Amino acid sequence: MEIVMAFVCGFLFMAAVYLILSRSLLRIIIGTGLLSHGAHLLILTMGSFKGTVPPVLSDGVTDFADPLPQALILTAIVISFGVTAFFLVLAYRAYSELKTDDMSLMRGSEENE
């Protein structure tokens, strides 16, 4: 199971890197979304899939899944949600001010404003 998940994570990272290297800003943001999916799935995988029961205390059950990675993922999800929301609004603002979403046109310094 871990092997399959490792391939899935790897595929997500591959797609994320490909999208982040593209020119359109929205593709880049989709890429960061895939990147955080890959990272979250990787935490779950690295915590291993030994337990079979959700980590909720109940009588007569001992075979719990590791609760720690789930807490880490929950934290990482809300953080990446906050950052993505900010990034999307920034992209919208940049589009309305700079009139482009092409990253290769967004270079330059003070002189060629």
Partner 1 sequence: MSNFLLLPIIIPFFFAMLLLFGQKNIAYQRITTLLGLVISIICAIGLVSNVYMDGPQTVTLGNWPAPFGITMMGDMVASVLMLTTLVISLFIVWYGFGSIGKEREQFFYYPGIMFIITGVNGAFTTGDIFNLFVFFEVLLMASYLLIVLGGEKAQLRESIKYILVNVISSALFVVAVAYLYSVVGTLSMADISLKIAEINQPGIITVIAVLFLLVFGMKAAIFPLYFWLPSAYSAPPIPVLALFGALLTKVGVYAITRTYTLFFTHDLSYTHELLLILAVVTIIAGCIGALAHFDVKQIIIYNIIIAVGVILFGVAQMNEVALQGAFVYLIHDMIIKAALFMLIGIVIYVTGTSNLRKMGGLIQTYPTLGWFFLIAGFGLVGVPPLSGFVGKLLIIQGGFIAGNTWSTLVVLASSIIVLLSVMRIFIYAFWGEQGQLSTDVQKRKYNRMFIPTMLLVILSIFYGIGAEWLNPFMSDAAKILMDPSIYTDAVMKGGE
Closest distance to partner 1 from the beta carbon of 18 (Å) = 13
Our measurement of the distance from residue 80's CA atom to the centroid of its chain's CA atoms, rounded to an integer in Å, reads 7
Provide the greatest CA pair distance for the chain. Answer: 72
Is 38 a binding residue for partner 1 by CB under 8 A? The answer is yes
- Among positions 5, 8, 15, 20, the unique one binding partner 1 when judged by CB under 8 A: 20
CB contact burial 41-66 (16+ within 10 A = b; e otherwise): bbbbbebeeeeeeeeeeeeeeeeebe
Residues that bind partner 1 (CB under 8 A): 20, 25, 28, 32, 35-36, 38-40, 42-43, 45-48, 68-69, 72, 75-76, 79-80, 82-83, 86-87, 90-91, 93-94, 97-98, 103, 106-110, 113
